[in-house]
């Protein structure tokens, strides 16, 4: 079965005002990755619009704070296997691998910079064919969808060569036509995924680097080819649960993997070259259950809920009237989302145990939501705890 291009626009009136993943933002505003995925899936004959795919992904936890979890597309359509995400914002894009994928009839979804402004202005497009030394793309932004051939470099080069114009690549392999699945080996035998090792409790915490704007995948094995059901956003603090000294030696090193636990208790491997050491120590593990007494204990106050506790911070009133920048990623080069005026209350949307130590600290960022429902990151040194 050959891939047949299906063209969608994220700004189609049929779905542009629908919220992504139950969050505050719409498909028309930030649905480029979702729409590109819908075009890829539909091109293989599994009909999905951005709206139907959004609803199915939402139902199975296919978004992390409105960012698509690429591997969840495969949970809906197992014939289309997600084979990983390559982030190349600070390195050359793997053009030879993209060429090989296209030559095999397998399109890819890539991240580009949609604006020449400073910082990365994230946008995702579908790459479906090679043309000379360039790629043909279907851009989900124009409405109605473009029917002419558009090349990546003609629209998104931003003065850079092709290998630097591509910032990330989401890979898929369609197996509906009978091609071997990633878990198969020649001769029809299947590989067996070894169980994850038991966690080793440490006080070491690593932070997802700001360069991982599309999310850092939490893999089941120390390999980009293994499944990844969760994505950790920039600034997320991860507790290392393997030998501490071994993990320290791997931080920032290419082709190394670190075993971690995220704030929601999910465990897996992350690429060591996209994490940084945090100055915040992990909390000690909870003690085991106490021995059962011979007589019933006296009634006690119920323990507090284990659900994340949201709290607010206040934008420092010492800031100039220009206000505090709310950015898309935790970086001064991140795209501007909004400007919060001095004294504004912001709701913290990351775990309190990671946010509280950063308040008032230079060089740290906190994930927040403002009164208008806009989400992003603010410089922690310019906020204070709400009383």
Same-domain pairing of 83 and 161: yes
Q: Considering the chain, what is the average pLDDT of its residues?
A: 81
Bridge partners of residue 113, in order along the sequence: 122
Q: What is the mean pLDDT of residues 37-55?
A: 95
Domain holding 56: CATH number? 3.90.70.10
Q: What is the mean pLDDT of residues 39-64?
A: 93
The answer, yes or no, to whether residue 4 has pLDDT greater than 60, is yes
Same-domain pairing of 31 and 166: yes
Number of domains in the chain: 3
pLDDT of residue 334: 63
Range in 24-28, 279-283, 284-288, 362-366 with the lowest mean pLDDT: 284-288
156 vs 225, more confident: 156
Task: Look at residues 174, 190, 223 and tell me which one is the last residue of a structural domain.
Answer: 174
Q: How many beta carbons lie within 10 A of that of residue 53, not counting itself?
A: 29
In a domain, 53, yes or no: yes
pLDDT of residue 144: 94
Query: Tokens 């969608």, residue?
Result: 8
Containing structural domain, residue 372: 312-385
pLDDT of residue 214: 62
- Whole-angstrom distance, CA of residue 352 vs CA of residue 350: 6
The answer, yes or no, to whether residue 141 has pLDDT greater than 90, is yes
Percent of the chain whose predicted confidence (pLDDT) is above 70: 81
Same-domain pairing of 44 and 146: yes
Q: Contact 227/252 with Cβ under 8 angstroms?
A: no
Percent of the chain whose predicted confidence (pLDDT) is above 90: 37
Could you report the per-residue pLDDT of 298-309, keeping only the tens digit for each? Answer: 443 333 333 334
Task: Look at residues 151, 174, 197 and tell me which one is the last residue of a structural domain.
Answer: 174
Structure tokens at 176: 């509906």
pLDDT of residue 186: 33
Same-domain pairing of 223 and 354: no
The answer, yes or no, to whether residue 254 has pLDDT greater than 80, is yes
Bridge partners of residue 366, in order along the sequence: 378
Q: What is the mean pLDDT of residues 355-377?
A: 83
Same-domain pairing of 31 and 169: yes
Same-domain pairing of 107 and 231: no
Same-domain pairing of 105 and 223: no
pLDDT of residue 229: 62
Same-domain pairing of 223 and 334: no
Cα distances (angstroms) measured from residue 38 to each of 10, 50, 73, 257, 344: 10, 6, 9, 31, 38
In a domain, 236, yes or no: yes
In a domain, 341, yes or no: yes
Same-domain pairing of 273 and 319: no
> Which residue, among 160, 270, 266, has the nearest Cα to 209 in the 3D structure?
270
In a domain, 354, yes or no: yes
Q: What is the mean pLDDT of residues 36-41?
A: 96
Structure tokens at 168: 């990330």
Q: How many degrees, rounded to 5, is the angle at CA 61 between CA 227 and CA 303?
A: 110
Same-domain pairing of 43 and 150: yes
Range in 62-66, 68-72, 333-337, 358-362 with the lowest mean pLDDT: 333-337
Residues 6+ apart with CB under 8 A from 10: 16, 27, 28, 31, 32, 34, 35, 50, 140, 141, 143
pLDDT of residue 387: 65
- Confidence band for 318, pLDDT divided at 50, 70 and 90: confident
Query: Residue 132 burial (CB < 10 Å; 0-12/13-18/19+)?
Result: exposed
Same-domain pairing of 149 and 65: yes
pLDDT of residue 232: 81
The answer, yes or no, to whether residue 126 has pLDDT greater than 90, is yes
- Confidence band for 228, pLDDT divided at 50, 70 and 90: low
pLDDT of residue 200: 82
Which letter does DSSP use for residue 296 in this model?
P
Same-domain pairing of 165 and 57: yes
135 vs 328, more confident: 135
Q: What is the mean pLDDT of residues 136-141?
A: 97
- Whole-angstrom distance, CA of residue 110 vs CA of residue 215: 14
In a domain, 21, yes or no: no
pLDDT of residue 120: 82
The pair phi, psi for residue 274, each rounded to 5°, is -120, 25
Domain holding 321: CATH number? 2.30.30.40
Q: Contact 344/267 with Cβ under 8 angstroms?
A: no
- Whole-angstrom distance, CA of residue 145 vs CA of residue 143: 5
Helix, strand, coil % over all residues of the chain, rounded to 5: 20, 25, 55
- Whole-angstrom distance, CA of residue 304 vs CA of residue 306: 6
Bridge partners of residue 206, in order along the sequence: 238, 277
Task: Look at residues 277, 292, 326 and tell me which one is the last residue of a structural domain.
Answer: 277
The answer, yes or no, to whether residue 179 has pLDDT greater than 50, is no
Range in 64-73, 278-287, 355-364 with the lowest mean pLDDT: 278-287
Q: What is the mean pLDDT of residues 5-34?
A: 93
285 vs 46, more confident: 46
pLDDT of residue 1: 58
- Confidence band for 323, pLDDT divided at 50, 70 and 90: confident
In a domain, 194, yes or no: no
Bridge partners of residue 174, in order along the sequence: 80
- Confidence band for 178, pLDDT divided at 50, 70 and 90: very low
In a domain, 187, yes or no: no
- Confidence band for 176, pLDDT divided at 50, 70 and 90: low
Q: Contact 168/214 with Cβ under 8 angstroms?
A: yes
> Which DSSP helix (H) or strand (E) runs through 95?
helix 95-103
Q: What is the mean pLDDT of residues 310-327?
A: 78
> Which residue, among 317, 310, 226, 315, has the nearest Cα to 271 in the 3D structure?
226
pLDDT of residue 371: 86
Residues 6+ apart with CB under 8 A from 202: 239, 240, 241, 242, 243, 244, 247, 282
pLDDT of residue 280: 66
In a domain, 1, yes or no: no
């Amino acid at each position: 079965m050959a891939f047949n291009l299906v063209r969608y626009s994220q700004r189609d009136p049929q779905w542009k005002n629908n919220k992504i993943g139950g969050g505050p933002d719409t498909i028309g505003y930030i649905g480029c990755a979702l729409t590109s995925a819908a075009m890829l899936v539909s091109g293989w004959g599994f009909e999905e619009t951005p709206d139907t795919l959004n609803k199915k992904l939402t139902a199975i936890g296919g978004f992390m704070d409105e960012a698509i979890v690429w591997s969840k597309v495969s949970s809906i359509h197992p014939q289309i296997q997600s084979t990983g995400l390559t982030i190349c914002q600070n390195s050359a894009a793997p053009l030879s691998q993209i060429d090989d994928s296209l030559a095999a009839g397998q399109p890819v979804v890539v991240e580009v910079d949609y604006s020449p402004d400073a910082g990365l202005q994230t946008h995702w497009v579908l790459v479906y064919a090679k043309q000379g030394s360039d790629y043909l793309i279907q851009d989900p932004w124009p409405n109605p969808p473009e029917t002419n051939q558009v090349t990546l470099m003609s629209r998104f080069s931003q003065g850079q060569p092709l290998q630097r114009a591509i910032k990330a690549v989401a890979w898929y392999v369609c197996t509906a036509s009978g091609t071997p699945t990633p878990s198969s080996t020649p001769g029809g035998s299947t590989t067996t995924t070894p169980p994850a090792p038991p966690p080793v409790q440490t006080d070491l915490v690593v932070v997802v680097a700001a360069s991982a704007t599309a999310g850092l995948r939490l893999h089941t094995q120390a390999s980009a080819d293994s499944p990844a059901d969760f994505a950790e956003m920039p600034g997320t603090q991860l507790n290392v649960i393997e030998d501490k000294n071994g993990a320290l030696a791997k931080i920032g090193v290419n082709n190394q993997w670190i075993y971690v636990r995220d704030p929601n208790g999910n465990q897996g491997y992350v690429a060591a070259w996209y994490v940084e050491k945090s100055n915040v120590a992990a909390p000690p593990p909870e003690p085991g259950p106490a021995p059962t007494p011979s007589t019933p204990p006296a009634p006690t106050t119920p323990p507090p809920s284990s659900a994340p506790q949201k709290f607010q911070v206040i934008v420092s009133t010492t800031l100039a009237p220009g206000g505090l920048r709310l950015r898309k990623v935790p970086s001064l080069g991140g795209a501007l989302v909004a400007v919060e005026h001095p004294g504004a209350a912001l709701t913290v949307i990351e775990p309190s145990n990671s946010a509280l130590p950063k308040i008032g600290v230079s060089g740290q960022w906190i994930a927040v939501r403002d009164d208008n429902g806009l989400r992003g990151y603010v410089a922690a040194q310019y906020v204070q705890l709400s009383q």
